[in-house]
Amino acid sequence: MSHTPVKVGSRIPAFSLKNQHGESVSIKTFTGKPFVIYFYPKDDTPGCTAQACSFRDAYAELRDLDAEVIGISADSPESHLEFAKRYDLPFVLLSDENNKVRELFGVPGSMFGLLPGRVTYIVDAEGIVTHIFDSQLQTKKHVKEALEHLKKQQVS
């Protein structure tokens, strides 16, 4: 089942997933304010930990821009909870155990399809994607890109 990939200018698809506490969360609860959705391969791997910690370290600055952060991977809610506790992650981690939302967004695989892709989407208050950053290796650049684009959105 293939979907049209989410692009800049697309409205993000509606979905609900369980968070790290096992509660169902609808993405609609985040509209009304800008937010960052980042898809990542796996909890507790070096690149994903570096990426999550960079979002954690910039979280106050992101919140100052009125933005929320949502991390999504195929890990279970239990795995997310351990990951969040271990690294003091203050944001929502959603469990996409069947990769349905990853497919809905059209997030490409990387490393010849062996790893799930690492893609960040910046979404405005109306639920429209304003920027996409796709990089498997530049894990810390995802936050830099998010901050730059959220700041630009505030000015315009």
pLDDT, tens digit, 9 for 90 and up, residues 120-137: 999 999 999 999 998 767
Q: What percent of the chain has pLDDT over 90?
A: 73
% of the chain beyond a pLDDT of 70 = 94
Q: Kind and range of the H or E element at 55?
A: helix 46-57
105, containing H or E segment: helix 100-105
The pTM assigned to this predicted structure is 0.92
Q: Which of 36, 48, 52, 93 is catalytic?
A: 48
The gap from C-alpha 8 to its chain's centroid, in whole angstroms, comes to 15
- Active-site residue 48, yes or no? yes
Residues 96/102, Cβ–Cβ less than 8 Å: yes
Domains of the chain, start order: 16-155 (3.40.30.10)
pLDDT of 39 strictly over 80: yes
Structure tokens at 102: 């990853």
Return the axis-axis angle of helices 141-155 and 46-57, rounded to nearest 10°.
30
- 54-94: pLDDT as tens digits: 999 999 999 999 999 999 999 999 999 999 999 999 999 99
